[in-house]
Amino acid sequence: MELQVKAADGRNLAAATWGRPDGRPVFLLHGTPGSRLGQTPRSSLLSRLGLRVITFDRPGYGDSDRLPGRRVRDAADDVRTIADHLGLDRFSVVGRSGGSPHALACAALLADRVVRTAALVSLAPWDAQGLDWQAGMSASNRNSYRREYQDDQSRRLSTTLRIRSRDIREDPQRLLEQLRGELPAADRWILASGTMTSLLRTNYREALRRDSGGWIDDALAFRQAWGFDVTTIPGEVLLWHGADDVFSPVEHTVWLAERIPHSRVDIRRAEGHFGAMRVMPEVLQWASQDPGEEPDAAG
């Protein structure tokens, strides 16, 4: 089901729900770039698992209005707005890749409403002490987080991401081709699936349908203070990562695990960035459970 929700400042937020209308609610926050049409498990599977998954376009992506100068913490306000619209008092939050820092923001800032949180292949804060933030990243990701983007206080669109977005709008397959040359074997195997590449093409096309604003604002938000302290997260957090990830290196999750008080860490050998999509059903099921309650197929 597609939703149009108004934020308090008048912005439009595009959202969608999947699975059982009366299922246990879990927000699934998309990657970078991404959209509400991202890699959500089939509604029939979600229904069998008893889940209601809520997705939405972060500001500047898809049909959601841009929020100039947004920070990672701002995602918590948008999640609260959508949850209120749906009448949800309690819910869980799962983020994948660029969605993971935003999921952690919800864990920190909506602690009275978030049951559990999962952050898959997450980045750590840019100012993470003791972490070489760009070490092990692919060339394309290092380019997306170049310092001049952070230092541009006017938030002008970067030439690099604007051109890449235009190319992807014309042919979403281009991003997959660009990524394939940088991927470890495990990720290339996942992207060899026709079903998976079709889902990714749909996701990227919708994400960048209007312009590159959401992508650039994500990159800028990751390169400044997130607006909350991960050490204050009170609830249970699952941190999942593939050891061979070249987009969000595993050292980022190791750093987070050492600082989030109630974290549960799952690092998989011989897995890369897109391995997170393979375990998503189990992770969603784990996240939806009350603390202390474990499903049969915990992630």
Query: In the chain, where are the structural domains located?
Result: 2-288
pLDDT over threshold 70, residue 18? yes
144: pLDDT strictly greater than 90 = no
pLDDT single digits (tens) 43-61:
889 999 999 999 999 999 9
Phi, psi of 237 (to 5 degrees): -130, 125
- CA dist 217 and 227 (Å) reads 15
The residue written with tokens 């014309």 in the block is: 170
CATH for 2-288?
3.40.50.1820
Q: What's the pLDDT at 201? A: 85
pLDDT at 147: 54
Question: pLDDT confidence of 33, banded at 50, 70, 90?
Answer: very high
Q: pLDDT confidence of 298, banded at 50, 70, 90?
A: very low
Q: Is-above-0.85 flag for pTM?
A: yes
Mean pLDDT over residues 137-156, rounded?
Answer: 60
**pLDDT category, 299, cuts 50, 70, 90?**
very low
Residue carrying the six token digits 């994948």: 96
Flag whether pLDDT at 143 surpasses 90: no
For residue 295, what pLDDT band results from cuts at 50, 70 and 90? Answer: low
Q: What is the mean pLDDT of residues 133-160?
A: 65
Are 95 and 101 in contact, with CB atoms under 8 Å apart?
A: yes
Q: How confident is the model at residue 146 (pLDDT cuts 50, 70, 90)?
A: low
In the predicted model, what is the mean pLDDT of residues 187-207?
Answer: 86
